[in-house]
Amino acid sequence: MTAEPVLTPTSAPTAYRWRWLALTALLLGEAMNLLDATIVQVAAPAIHADLGGSVSGIQWFTTAYTLPFAVLLITGGRLGDIAGRKRLFVIGVAGFMLASAACAMAPSVVLLIAFRAVQGAAAAVIIPQTIGLIKTMFAGGELSKALGGIGPVMGLAAVCGPVLGGVLTHADLFGSSWRAAFLVNVPLSLAVLAISPRLRENRAPKRPALDLTGTLLAAAGTGLAVYPLIGADLSGLPLRSWAAIAAGLCLMAVFAVHQRRVAEAGRSPLVEPSLFAHRGFPAALVTSTTFFAVTNGLMTVILLQLQLGAGVGVLKAGLTLAPWSVGLAVASWIAGAHLVKRNGPRVMSLGLAVLMAGVLSAIAVYRTAEADAGSYPIPLLFALAVVGVGVGLFSPAFFTIALKRLQPQEIGSAAGLLNAVQQLGATLGVAVLGSVYLGSAHSGDAVAGLRAVQTAFWGAVVLVMVSFAVSRMMVDESVSGDGGEGH
């Protein structure tokens, strides 16, 4: 499909303005995903207090969203290729809005978790369409400027999410309490739908087939591997849990074989096998999984300890994460605009080093806080700011390096797979680190809660070390492929 001529402000002012307004709708659709995840993490203890159920239900409020999102992302992109990206984007936003309203009205934990899964599936339809739709509206320098808006918008959503979650839940508007955290998606979705007619339809020139078998294998394998970890005592998993995890890993192996056979038969696999011809991209997948397990898992543990362990209110808990979010946004902008161009892969290693320093500082804060377990640990704010800076430095460099050596026909599949493992890492982080905390904390014992946080943070230290070790494979391959650029 050929692109429309690029319009400038002088050639067609009205059409030019509508293009940028349509871009705003696409970016808002992207931001709703991150905003929703962080808002709900802050509101989760309030939801648990209202609806009841087991404490592990708090983890499900997040993982029920991120797991279907991760599994269905690549399929969502393929559906856009087949049926049209504008059509799928609109369907996804409408589904996300209805699922959000259903979450807000949910009378029980079971129904809320079910509606969260629908939300995640809708988000998996929305997100893969964005870049393709942007490319239909812009080209050349205008395209770079339009794509450059994704990072700052995501940073702003990261900053606003925890604070907005705390403010909305604390405000208890019209007695809505935590339900406002979901209702906020309704006006945002309506705004996106109102502008969406200005989007231009776009689909793949040659329609690929939908790999339903691959989708089912990926969904079943991931679900079986992750489900037993949520809310479990990781030191004493029963045999049936280990059997489920083993079955999930086997199905993932079958999925990999299936993808290769589909490609060899000349059909359209969900994942391009050529992505695994060099070690750099598989290393990027592992790095993404462990890194985002750290960031999402730690955020969950911090909020659980503040609200369930220390009795901190939801507003104060949300504001506690503000230094993390601000550090992330500022460092991400600086890294993306300046540092990555000048220093290349070294920025990724610097980000992990700063993240490690922040995590170790937080452990020291929690250890010191044991002497006065009932007080609010103010030094934690500075440690979390350091964590945020590390995350912000790492992310732009990581995605730049991960996608650098790919062929044009591989970029779509690679970006979808990276987003998918990012969400899978988030799911695993919430499941594993959250379970480590809940398994060690004792209700009403503030000191035990602080020690449980430290245990979870030491687990995060191990994951950061794994991220650093595996990311070196990406760096080495990047250097060998570009003559040492950035070193």
Judge whether residue 162 has pLDDT over 90: no
Average pLDDT of span 233-239: 74
Judge whether residue 329 has pLDDT over 90: no
Q: How far is 362 from 93, CA to CA, in rounded Å?
A: 38
- From 192-196, 256-260, 270-274, the region with the lowest mean pLDDT: 270-274
Q: Where are the domains of the chain?
A: 13-196, 212-269, 275-487
Q: Of the candidates 422, 417, 310, 403, which has an alpha carbon nearest to the alpha carbon of residue 74?
A: 417
pLDDT level of residue 171 (50, 70, 90 thresholds): confident
- Give Cα separations from 284 to 157, 267, 309, 353 (angstroms): 24, 26, 36, 17
> Between 16 and 325, whose confidence is greater?
325
* Model-wide pTM > 0.85: no
pLDDT at 334: 86
DSSP states of 2-32 as a string? Answer: PPPPPP-TTT-HHHHHHHHHHHHHHHHHHHH
Alpha-helical (H) ranges within 127-149 are 130-137, 140-147
pLDDT at 461: 96
* Predicted confidence (pLDDT) per residue in 35-49, tens digit: 877 788 788 888 888
Q: Domain 13-196 carries which CATH code?
A: 1.20.1250.20
* Predicted confidence (pLDDT) per residue in 188-231, tens digit: 999 999 998 888 887 766 677 778 888 889 888 888 888 887 76
Q: How far is 470 from 398, CA to CA, in rounded Å?
A: 12
pLDDT at 359: 96
Q: Percent of the chain scored above 70 by pLDDT? A: 86
For domain 275-487, which architecture applies? Up-down Bundle (1.20)
CA contacts within 13 A on the Cβ side of 337: 12
pLDDT level of residue 1 (50, 70, 90 thresholds): very low
* Predicted confidence (pLDDT) per residue in 89-117, tens digit: 999 999 999 999 999 999 999 999 999 99
Q: How many CB atoms lie within 10 A of CB 440?
A: 17
Element (H, E) at 271: none
Average pLDDT of span 280-297: 90
Q: Percent of the chain scored above 90 by pLDDT? A: 24
Residues with Cβ within 8 Å of 403's Cβ and at least 6 positions away in sequence, in order, are: 411, 414, 415, 418
Average pLDDT of span 1-9: 44
